[in-house]
Structure 1
Amino acid sequence: MPEISMAGGFVNETQIFKSIALSNFDGKPYVKSITMARSPLTAAMKSLYFCELAEKRRLPRDFANKYGNSPEKFFIATEDLRAQYGDKIGTEITWPAVGVYSYLTERIGLGLKQLLAGTRKFKLDLINRSDIAALNKLASEVTGIPMLHEIEADLFEEILAS
């Protein structure tokens, strides 16, 4: 089977994790990348929107109080990017680009790291079908993945019996 890229409505790290895990039949996942469109575009558009509001000094009060009143303050990755790229941030590297970068690294990247830590596997190519469970009988039948209550059922019985 060739290496593939999955696409179609991916917006969060759990979907990416499941897609890669589902594709791992023999020790290596066939899904090598996830193609995303809507959510990074939304991050760019919302970033631009909030930058425009900040420029006009019309940010919602709650937002400004919580995150700051300028892009330098409300983008979480600004400090790291400024250390790496200096004054290019906000000019050559636009604020919407910083917003997309923040979404991909701070939301998706950090979320994937947390999921990998939860499975005690610290590389994406190590996750496999045993790291996920089916929530209904049809999903289990179609994918061959056991339902949640079937995973380590013997271990649960042993614990309950002792």
Structure 2
Amino acid sequence: EPLSALDARIRKHLREQIRAIQRELGLTTIFVTHDQEEALTMSDRIFLMNQGRIVQSGDAETLYTAPVDVFAAGFIGNYNLLDADSASRLLQRPVSSRLAIRPEAIALSLDGELEGLVRSHSLLGNVIRYRVEARGVELLVDVLNRSSADLHPDGQRVSLSIDPTALCEVA
């Protein structure tokens, strides 16, 4: 993990430099990291391992959008991991397996199909991460921080829309 002890700004700069050198020289490089952002930005192919075995391999987009199991979903990104009962209650239809839903695949508004309550929010720079309770299920919802006028305070009733193509069954 060659970049693990560096501060964030230097890490990002060196990631970009290493990636540029790899591409320019056509080098095959094995890079070991526990940092999801590093893996996603520096790799043509990622091998996600758990306890010494490969759980999933593929390009960054596939690993991020289609995790094969709970471990993969929990490691790559900040998925909402729902058991079948919670998923059924949230979606109001029978669901027979665990579901993973990316926080950015949930839209937040004041009028929509699914009523929720903002429990808390965190400013992450260009993203605001909300904890929203809907139908007894707590969800992370990531929204671009476009304007302070768009901020939903804790305790505000909101509506959610979930992109159905972003629902991912996981083992």
Question: TM-score with structure 2 length normalisation?
Answer: 0.23
More strand by share: 2
State the structure with bigger RCO (CA 8 A, min sep 6), 1 or 2.
Answer: 1
More helix by share: 1
Question: TM-score with structure 1 length normalisation?
Answer: 0.24
